[in-house]
A = this chain, B = another copy of it.
């Protein structure tokens, strides 16, 4: 029943987000829509992220960029700040990307992203797997 794309997507998603975090994330979505949870695995992770053209770290820095600019995507930013760290980005690089974004989306969106990132760093330092 589970497609090959789903299997590959789930492995990719777990590698980026952490296995436990990915499963929790999907369970939360699956509780209202199994279709939404399925395409969340199959499309971004099973179709786009598995491609070789960009390395994982660059993809995650671009995800942090996008989620900063969107402004209203702070819950997803939390997930991808952790994913960026998992994929080899340093804290300084994540903060630098958000700081660069001041020039593209202004201070308010960049500030909210920065302070949310601080909360993620603090949760990691406190040993929490989610924040």
- A contact patch SS: helix
Residues of B within 8 A of A115 (CB): 28-29, 32
Residues of B within 8 A of A61 (CB): 58, 61-62
> Copies per complex?
6
Closest to A110 in B: B36
* Most chain B CB atoms below 10 A, which of A31, A40, A73: A73
A59 at the interface (CB under 8 A from B): yes
User: Are A108 and B62 neighbours in the complex by a CB distance under 8 Å?
Assistant: no
Contact A106-B102, Cβ < 8 Å, known A43-B39, A65-B66, A95-B33: yes
User: Are B32 and A70 neighbours in the complex by a CB distance under 8 Å?
Assistant: no
Chain B: minimal CB distance from A130 (Å): 14
* Most chain B CB atoms below 10 A, which of A53, A61, A101, A112: A53
Interface residues of A (CB under 8 A from B): 28-29, 31-33, 35-36, 39-40, 42-44, 47-49, 51, 53-54, 58-59, 61-63, 65-73, 75-76, 92-93, 95-112, 114-115, 117-118, 121
16 pairs, A vs B, C-beta closer than 8 Å: A29-B114, A36-B99, A36-B114, A42-B47, A44-B100, A48-B103, A51-B96, A62-B65, A67-B104, A70-B72, A72-B109, A73-B104, A73-B109, A76-B107, A103-B106, A103-B107
